[in-house]
Amino acid sequence: MKTMQALFLTFLIVPFVEIYLLLQVGSVIGAFPTVFLVVFTATLGAWLLRRQGFATWNRLQNGLRQGEIPAYEMVEGPILLVGGALLLTPGFFTDLFGFACLIPALRRKIADYLIERHLSAGQTGSIFRQSQRDRSVIEGEYEKHR
């Protein structure tokens, strides 16, 4: 399945799952407790995101001061960003994945996977390279002589 198709399906299916879960939880515990729970998870997620974001930022700065390449911290930053966005989205399904992004051990495993599979130096098919080149374009350099 191509990436765009997977994203389309995700954006199509996730809202239905969220609505279903909100209705099910609301029918069990009531409307106001459900709304309170959604607001509480968003607030808790924002607080955790802030703390872990600052901790990751401090580790990144310390690594740079020591002359190390802070690869994990550079990958953990966007993972935290995605987790924060998922936590601020109302619903329980997205909160599950958002909190998963805030668990340091799980975040480290996700970062390991991304670095090993997609960001390793010299790997073909990296996300930073074009997968197919336009064969009708000839690249080169020229100098203009006067």
* Residue 75 pLDDT > 60: yes
Every domain of the chain and the residues it spans: 30-120
pTM attached to this predicted model: 0.72
Which token pair is 10? 């995700």
pLDDT score, position 79: 94
* Residue 126 pLDDT > 70: no
| 143 vs 108, more confident | 108
Name the percent of the chain lying above pLDDT 90: 61
CA angle 123, 11, 111 (to 5 degrees): 35
Mean of pLDDT values over 41-52: 92
Output the DSSP codes for 68-106. Answer: ---HHHHHHHHHHHHHHHHHHSSSHHHHHHHHHHHSHHH
Which token pair is 74? 């550079």
